Amino acid sequence: MDVTRILTSQELGIEVPGAKKASSAQGGEAFAKSIGETLSAANVDLNKAEESARELAAGKGDLVETMIAMGRADLSLRMVVNMRNRMLESYNEIMRMQV
């Protein structure tokens, strides 16, 4: 099956008023960077929660601080899982598109 690439408005020479003039590579890099930052932040939250739980188990930590850290870690993990699910849904939708 021969699949041809869809041309962008810039490649066709069409000016779209108010459109940003960024290349798809720049947009892809920005997207990848934001995903990476989100994953890093979630990882930090999970590590802090784990460390706080260890300190609490050793008798050194504060229960309230530990519960707050665990709540943040839970929310971060849910957000990452939700992002993954949405990306997979988007991918599957694109794969179902007829060319």
Q: b or e along 34-68 (b: 16 or more beta carbons within 10 Å of the residue's beta carbon)?
A: eeeeeeeebeebbebbeebbeebeeeebeeeebee
Phi, psi at 72, each rounded to 5°: -65, -45
Q: Would 17 be classed as within a structural domain? A: no
The residue that leads in pLDDT, 97 or 14, is: 97
Q: Would 92 be classed as within a structural domain? A: yes
Predicted pLDDT at 1? 47
SS3 16: coil
Q: 33 is in which domain, residue-wise?
A: 23-96
Mean of pLDDT values over 66-72: 96
Task: Please state the domain count of the chain.
Answer: 1
Q: Would 64 be classed as within a structural domain? A: yes
Q: Would 43 be classed as within a structural domain? A: yes
pLDDT digits (tens, 9 = 90+) for 12-58: 666 656 555 555 667 788 888 999 999 999 999 999 999 999 999 99
Q: Would 4 be classed as within a structural domain? A: no
pTM listed for this prediction: 0.66
pLDDT at 94 over 90: yes
Q: Would 13 be classed as within a structural domain? A: no
